[in-house]
Amino acid sequence: MEELLSHYANVKEELKSRLKQFKDLSEEAQFKEFLFCLLTPQSNAQRCWQAVEEISRLPEIEEQAVYNILKTKTRFHITKTQRILKAYENWHKIKPFLENENIKELRNKIAQTVNGYGLKESGHFLRNIGLSNNQIAILDRHILRNLHNLKVIKDPKIKSPKNYLEIEDIFLNFSKSINIPADELDLLWWSKENGEIFK
């Protein structure tokens, strides 16, 4: 725990700066984050972002072109190609939801609406556009692993949506107990494992 708090003290301002950048995104940049979070499940985050950048440069979103990009960048590229093709339609569905200030309700609604988004991906998207406000968790492997290593949770695996919400509450309470905001703690653990503050 001392190591965690020491590392936080060293990168605290950088974390806050990164989170502020998320809040200041244009709508075009928000849409790129929406695509990014469709691609990240069980795939390398940096390579997924490379794929988003390449897709964004396409003159038109055509199935074969998207497939050719994803097959070298992500796992499950056939399924994810279809999700990218539907992303523009889904974006127009969820844009009105983003006015909802009840963050958990907003996250849950997005998860129910977008094929390819569960609770984790919806939370990831909201964090990456600056709307999570430390009220939800992105229970990715790095968070589960760190919670387990610190003996905050017994099992680093999520068994159901109900279990996700239970562990989310544990994570949020833990972040308060050590006085590190949840959004910052997520980025802190990710950067500690991967060497950079990314997304």
Domains and CATH numbers, the chain: 2-22+137-194 (1.10.1670), 26-128 (1.10.340.30)
Contacts of 46 (CB under 8 A, 6+ apart): 198
Angle between helices 119-128 and 103-113 (to 10 degrees): 120
Residue 120 is among the residues annotated as catalytic for this protein:
yes
Per-residue pLDDT of the chain (199 residues; tens, 9 = 90+): 888 898 899 899 999 999 999 999 999 999 999 999 999 988 888 999 999 999 999 998 899 999 999 999 999 999 999 999 999 889 999 999 999 999 999 999 999 999 999 999 999 999 999 999 999 999 998 899 999 999 999 999 999 999 999 999 999 999 999 999 999 999 999 888 776 777 7
pLDDT for 7 equals 87
Catalytic residue, from 32, 120, 183, 186: name it: 120
Residue 16 is among the residues annotated as catalytic for this protein:
no
Catalytic residue, from 140, 157, 162, 169: name it: 140
Asked if 109 and 78 count as a contact pair (C-beta separation under 8 A), the reply is: no
Angle between helices 45-56 and 27-39 (to 10 degrees): 130
